[in-house]
């Protein structure tokens, strides 16, 4: 019974993401290591699941280890300039062979439809082609990189047409010039530019580390789950030596910043070593890796009638526990403009109401509630500060609250205990002496 309840709760929790992601474009980038280490089949199953939910997928694969192996077999000398391989004619041949083998292997794995597997009876159609126009990088530090190039243009109209036809787009780290030349590109360059060109909802990099780590006084080294572009730039400025920042982070974080600054809504950096990491990152509110966004995900705003459902989810458990007085639902709709909500990534995580008593220049703070996952994160304090500013701006001098469980929390934030006879007369008439709520007041 418990197992069934857990399943139902889990399924309900992911439903909003399924609805939000349908019809959106995700660009997912992964290196040749993902294919080489033998665990790619599980990832293919996850791609199939995302496609079946109506998500338009663009997959960008790399082939670095395969290319390195091919170069070694040919005893070819490898030269790098600023971390980029110099691709001469012989190296380009190795690149083409390696990339071709990886792409064919990926297409073969995505064609599986074995019984009793997540891809049973699936019909994934993969589209590859000359969607990327490239140009040579040219001469750097006096060295001609020859056939090493960068993205010049993405053929978005053709890609969109193929996606609308239900096909998954598979892009290789190769680009073509109008004169028929082939250029060796980087995985991150292709993925970033195609995400920008398509104005993708998400750009996802699968990599070796868990995500971006930072030092926390409470936890030591901790995973940085959310960063704004400004914070990501600060990380790049602060950590410059290779020993300070993982190789993959040095590679992908600048691309994440560039993508977010050019219209991509979210960029995710997640570990390729965690089973189901892609699903855990996309279908849970906490995620499993690091996410970069243009601006903060947390906003405070006046509640709207559409927020009733989210507010009820916050206050109903507290009403059942007796922490909050049960509110009349019709009255809640009428008084919705009294409420302020704290929203995190389109999810209401806290709410509070402000009721004015103009004759006494006082306001009541009521119905302060925080989602269980966000308690002890400072959300309540942020909301209280906003409510105080709101009351002060309207010319009120005092803020009061009635509580049975959180007395110390309010005392720590400048409230002083008072008595019911100090309440505004209209509030005194409604005071419940059986509940015996404590009264706290604060001069604002």
Q: What is the pLDDT of residues 303-356, one digit of tens each?
A: 999 999 999 999 999 999 888 888 888 889 999 999 999 998 888 999 999 999
Q: HSE on the CB side for 266, CA within 13 Å?
A: 22
Q: What is the structure's pLDDT at 122? A: 64
What per-residue confidence (pLDDT) applies to 242?
A: 46
Q: Which residue's entry shows tokens 């920008």?
A: 196
Q: Which domains does the chain have, with CATH numbers?
A: 2-293 (3.40.1160.10), 298-443 (3.40.630.30)
Which of the four pLDDT bands, split at 50, 70 and 90, describes residue 2? low
Q: What's the pLDDT at 78?
A: 83
DSSP codes joined into one string, 285-343? SS-SSEEEESS-SEEEEE--GGGHHHHHHHHHHHHHHTSSPPPPHHHHHHTGGGEEEEE
**Alpha-carbon gap, residue 227 to 294, rounded angstroms:** 9
231/47 Cα distance (integer angstroms): 30
Residue 120 reports pLDDT greater than 70:
no
Q: pLDDT band for 217, please (50, 70, 90 cuts).
A: very low
- Give residue 327's pLDDT: 86
Measured between alpha carbons, how far is 155 from 288 in angstroms, rounded to an integer?
Answer: 33
Question: What's the CA gap between 274 and 286, in Å, rounded?
Answer: 15
pLDDT digits 0-9 by tens, 410-423 = 999 999 999 999 99
Task: Return the pLDDT at 38.
Answer: 76
What pLDDT was estimated at residue 87?
Answer: 94
Q: State CA 76 to chain mean position distance.
A: 42
Tokens of 73: 């077999």
100 CB-contact burial (10 Å; exposed 0-12 / middle 13-18 / buried 19+)? middle
| Per-residue pLDDT tens over the stretch 371-409 | 998 888 889 999 999 999 999 999 999 999 999 989 999
Q: How many helices (H) and strands (E) are present in the chain, helices listed first?
A: 15, 25
Cα→Cα distances 246→84, 126, 153, 185, 444, Å: 17, 33, 30, 22, 48
- State yes or no: pLDDT of 29 exceeds 90: yes
- Mean pLDDT score of the chain, rounded to an integer? 90
Sign of CA dihedral 222, 225, 229, 231: negative
Rounded to whole angstroms, how far apart are CA atoms 169 and 59?
6
pLDDT, tens only, 240-293: 554 467 889 999 999 999 999 999 999 999 999 999 999 999 998 788 999 999
- Assigned token pair, 436: 């015996």
H/E segment holding residue 357: strand 347-357
Kindly state the average pLDDT of the residues 4-27.
87
**Does 66 have pLDDT greater than 70?**
yes
Per-residue model confidence (pLDDT) at position 106: 92
- pLDDT of the residue at 59: 98
Question: Band of the pLDDT at 102, cuts 50, 70, 90?
Answer: very high
Mean pLDDT of all residues in 96-121: 79
In the structure, what pLDDT confidence band is assigned to residue 181 with cuts at 50, 70 and 90? very high
Band (pLDDT 50/70/90 cuts) for residue 88 is: very high
């Amino acid at each position: 019974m418990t197992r069934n309840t857990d399943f139902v709760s889990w399924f309900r929790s992911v439903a909003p993401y399924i609805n939000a992601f349908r019809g959106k474009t995700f660009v997912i980038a992964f290196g040749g290591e993902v294919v080489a280490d033998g665990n790619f089949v599980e990832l293919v199953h996850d791609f199939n699941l995302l496609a079946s939910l109506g998500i338009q997928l663009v997959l960008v694969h790399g082939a670095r280890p395969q290319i390195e192996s091919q170069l070694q077999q040919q005893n070819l000398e490898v030269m790098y300039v600023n971390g980029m391989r110099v691709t001469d004619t012989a190296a380009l041949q190795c690149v083409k062979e390696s990339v071709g083998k990886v792409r064919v292997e990926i297409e073969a794995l995505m064609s599986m439809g074995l019984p009793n597997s997540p891809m049973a009876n699936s019909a994934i159609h993969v589209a590859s082609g000359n969607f990327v126009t490239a140009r040579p990088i040219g001469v750097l530090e006096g060295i001609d990189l020859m056939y090493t190039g960068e993205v010049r243009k993405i053929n978005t109209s053709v890609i969109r047409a193929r996606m609308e036809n239900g096909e998954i787009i598979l892009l290789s780290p190769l680009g073509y010039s109008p004169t028929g030349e082939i250029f060796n590109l980087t995985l991150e360059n292709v993925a970033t530019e195609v995400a920008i060109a398509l104005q993708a909802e998400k750009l996802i990099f699968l990599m070796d580390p868990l995500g971006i780590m930072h030092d926390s006084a409470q936890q030591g080294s901790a995973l940085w789950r959310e960063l704004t572009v400004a914070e990501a730039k600060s990380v790049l400025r602060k950590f410059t030596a290779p020993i300070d920042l993982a190789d993959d982070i040095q590679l992908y974080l600048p691309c994440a910043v560039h993508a977010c600054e050019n219209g991509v809504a979210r960029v995710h950096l997640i570990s390729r070593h965690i089973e189901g990491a892609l699903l855990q990152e996309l279908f849970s509110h906490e995620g499993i890796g690091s996410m970069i966004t243009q601006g903060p995900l947390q906003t405070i705003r006046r509640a709207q009638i559409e927020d009733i459902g989210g507010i009820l989810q916050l206050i109903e458990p507290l009403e059942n526990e007796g922490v909050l007085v049960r509110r009349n639902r019709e009255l809640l709709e009428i008084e919705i403009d009294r409420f302020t909500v704290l929203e995190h990534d389109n999810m209401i995580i806290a709410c509070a109401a402000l009721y004015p008593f103009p004759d006494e220049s006082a306001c009541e703070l009521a119905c302060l509630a925080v989602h269980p996952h966000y308690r002890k994160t400072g959300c309540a304090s942020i909301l209280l500060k906003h409510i105080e500013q709101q009351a002060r701006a309207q010319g009120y001098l005092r803020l009061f609250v009635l509580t049975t469980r959180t007395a110390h929390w309010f005392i720590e934030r400048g409230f002083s205990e008072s008595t019911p006879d100090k309440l505004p007369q209209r509030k005194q008439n409604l005071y419940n002496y059986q509940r015996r709520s404590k009264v706290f007041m604060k001069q604002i």
